[in-house]
């Protein structure tokens, strides 16, 4: 077994399961009851994640005339839910972290159904002649297993042993970051011969998509009079994706490292853009507080 095969077929699924387990460790049934507390924000978050972001991604793919493989890779990324890292940036930018936790959980569960649908529609649109590309029932079942079951298990552990959950939170986050970094490096090494061409082709579209995700995630709720802290939470949720899930779908379920490159590149860029966006929000917030 080669290193690439080991990472793709063994370590990547395990890593994704641990990340989702870590999400479950931070959840309680109270987090889902917040759907009733923040119904408008939850609906807007889901609307952005499931409908607006995929539409923006399609427009960007068409405007930049991306080849079918990279276009499908962008769509897999767009369909992936927000990642737990969104909570950290939301906290830094003074967003509603409790709402972030609820949005991450809700989006992750909803993505079990929306993600295969979006990926399959995108596959038919961008690669109509390649019937083998797409998420068939068996692959959808794998997504369901690796997303939902670890979350439920984590919630059970959290309910029975809160101290363990609190102590495990930091190691799981560090592990998640390190695994994602290794996966990105492997994907880049495997595609090193075409890397420069790929970055030149998809780099700007990915950056535009990232900025658009953060911007719309904040602007739409703000225009609809959602409180600032909730708008920040939504922006971070729709702007910071679960890159590990997107890469898992591309590399393991669809068997293509090239499909994973948009998600890998996005996973690097989003840390910087989200950080800059957070600083901008903090500064604008201080100006609003001035008499």
User: What is the predicted pLDDT for the residue at 206?
Assistant: 94
Confidence at residue 53, expressed as pLDDT on a 0 to 100 scale: 94
Q: What is the pLDDT of residue 194?
A: 66
Q: SS3 letters for 49-61? A: HHHHHHHHHHHHH
Compute the distance between CA of residue 274 and CA of residue 204 in angstroms, rounded to an integer: 16
| Closest residue by Cα to residue 207 from 165, 266, 155 | 266
Query: What is this structure's pTM?
Result: 0.84
The CA dihedral of 85, 89, 94, 96, to the nearest 10 degrees, is: -30
pLDDT tens for 148-180 read 788 888 888 888 888 887 787 778 777 777 776
Q: Is 229 helix (H, G, I), strand (E, B) or coil?
A: helix
Q: What is the pLDDT of residues 95-150, one digit of tens each?
A: 888 888 888 888 888 888 888 888 888 888 887 665 455 666 566 677 777 777 88
pLDDT at 1 over 60: no
Tell me which residue of 111, 106, 87, 94 sits closest to 237, measured CA to CA: 87
Cα–Cα distance list, 273 to 75, 269, 291 (Å):
20, 6, 30
In 3D space, the residue among 49, 60, 77, 92 whose CA is nearest the CA of residue 237 turns out to be: 49
Give dist(CA 247, CA 272) in Å, integer. Answer: 19
Better pLDDT: 259 or 55: 55
The whole-chain average pLDDT of the chain stands at 82
Distance CA 15, CA 34 (A): 28
**Predicted confidence (pLDDT) per residue in 188-203, tens digit:** 666 666 667 777 888 8
Provide the pLDDT confidence category of residue 290 given band limits of 50, 70 and 90.
very low
**What integer pLDDT is reported at residue 7 of this predicted model?**
65
Q: Tell me what pLDDT residue 18 has.
A: 81
Residues in the chain: 291
Report the share of the chain in percent with pLDDT over 70.
85
Alpha carbon dihedral 83, 258, 217, 205, in 10-degree steps, equals: 150
φ, ψ dihedrals at 241, nearest 5°: -95, 160
Over residues 58-72, the pLDDT tens digits come to: 999 999 999 998 999
Q: Convert the pLDDT of each residue in 22-37 to its tens digit.
A: 878 877 777 777 778 8
Instruction: Transcribe 109-158 into DSSP letters.
Output: HHHHHHHHHHHHHHHHHH-TT-TT-S--HHHHHHHHHHHHHHHHHHHHHH
C-alpha 188/C-alpha 261 separation (Å) is: 7
Looking at residue 240, the DSSP 8-state letter turns out to be: S
């Amino acid at each position: 077994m080669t290193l690439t095969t080991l990472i793709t077929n063994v370590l990547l699924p395990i890593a994704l399961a641990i990340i989702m387990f870590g999400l479950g460790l931070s959840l309680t049934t109270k987090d889902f009851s917040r759907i009733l507390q923040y119904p408008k924000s939850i609906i807007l978050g889901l609307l952005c994640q499931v409908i607006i972001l995929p539409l923006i991604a399609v427009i960007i793919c068409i405007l930049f005339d991306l080849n079918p493989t990279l276009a499908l890779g962008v769509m897999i990324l767009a369909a992936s839910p927000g990642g737990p890292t969104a909570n950290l940036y939301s906290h830094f930018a003074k967003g509603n972290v409790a709402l972030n936790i609820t949005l991450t959980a809700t989006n992750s569960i909803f993505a079990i159904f929306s993600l295969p649908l979006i990926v399959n529609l995108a596959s038919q649109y961008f690669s109509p002649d390649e019937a083998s590309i797409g998420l068939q029932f068996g692959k959808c079942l794998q997504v369901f297993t690796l997303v939902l079951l670890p979350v439920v298990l984590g919630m059970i552990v959290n309910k029975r042993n809160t101290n363990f959950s609190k102590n495990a939170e930091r190691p799981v986050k560090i592990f998640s970051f390190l695994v994602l970094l290794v996966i990105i490096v492997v994907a880049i090494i495997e595609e090193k011969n075409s890397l420069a061409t790929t970055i030149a082709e998809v780099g700007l579209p990915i950056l535009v998509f990232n900025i658009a995700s953060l911007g719309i995630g904040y602007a739409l709720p703000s225009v609809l009079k959602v409180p600032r802290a909730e708008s920040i939470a939504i922006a971070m949720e729709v702007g910071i994706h679960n890159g590990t899930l997107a890469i898992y779908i591309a590399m393991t379920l669809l068997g293509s490292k090239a499909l994973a490159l948009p998600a890998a590149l996005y996973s690097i860029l989003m840390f910087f853009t989200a950080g800059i966006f957070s600083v901008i929000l903090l500064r604008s917030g201080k100006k609003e507080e001035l008499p």
